[in-house]
Amino acid sequence: MKQKRYATTMLSLGTLLMVGSASPVMADNGFGAAQERSDRQREQRGPSIREEATSEATDSSLPGHRRVTGHIKDIRGDQMEIDIGNLQSLKVPLKMATDKGQTFKVGDEIVVTLSDHNAIVDYHHPEETSHHQVIRGKLSTPLTVGLDKAVIETDQGTKTFLVADRAKGKLTAIPVGAEVLFMADETGRLVDAQLASSAPQVGSA
């Protein structure tokens, strides 16, 4: 009887030792597979994606704007497809480059500016300096749907700006008389705007 209990005890210990030794191997195999997938995805993405964010308004940027550096994967029709490190590529209209006389090709590095709502504001070559301008003022008249001009009252007087197609929806929602931070790109078109009540005073870039 004692021999039987002894044999059962040894069998139980042997089973525990087998389970205990197998678990680390299984965990290690799982970790190794996950690490391999991560390394493979990083290789597919290529160089690390750089990103800069603006927390306060400056002379050339609005709060919440992000500048993301990526690479052009494809140019097809009137769009460019940009790899910014996400599973889904970013697609931008080619017209923005045409309006500024810029040319891009597949493989080029590109810096994309995104608004606080992740909308496309602008893009340019990394070596080019963006000449954006932030204007503080108030709309003199409502920006009705389809209207491509905005009349703004500023401390320097009344100024008229053309409105880029991508910014018309946002500017249409801005009430007349509200103090706003408007942003113009290199062509002088308004490309973004934010209510100034929640944004810090515009300072130097």
Q: Please report, rounded to a whole number, the percentage of residues in the chain having pLDDT higher than 70.
A: 71
Which one has a higher pLDDT value, 86 or 115?
115
- For the chain, report the end-to-end CA distance as a whole number of angstroms: 88
Average pLDDT score over the chain: 77
Average pLDDT over residues 95-105: 91
Nearest C-alpha neighbor of 112 from the set 134, 128, 135, 136: 128
Is the pLDDT at 58 greater than 90? The verdict is: no
The pLDDT assigned to 162 comes to: 92
Residue with tokens 């609005």: 62
Q: How far is CA 40 from CA 36, 44, 45, 69, 90, in A?
A: 6, 6, 9, 21, 21
Q: How confident is the model at residue 121 (pLDDT cuts 50, 70, 90)?
A: very high
Q: How far is CA 48 from CA 11, 36, 71, 108, 110, in A?
A: 53, 18, 11, 15, 13
pTM here?
0.67
Which one has a higher pLDDT value, 48 or 139?
139
Is the pLDDT at 32 greater than 80? The verdict is: no
Average pLDDT over residues 191-196: 92
Contact 168, 22 (CB under 8 A): no
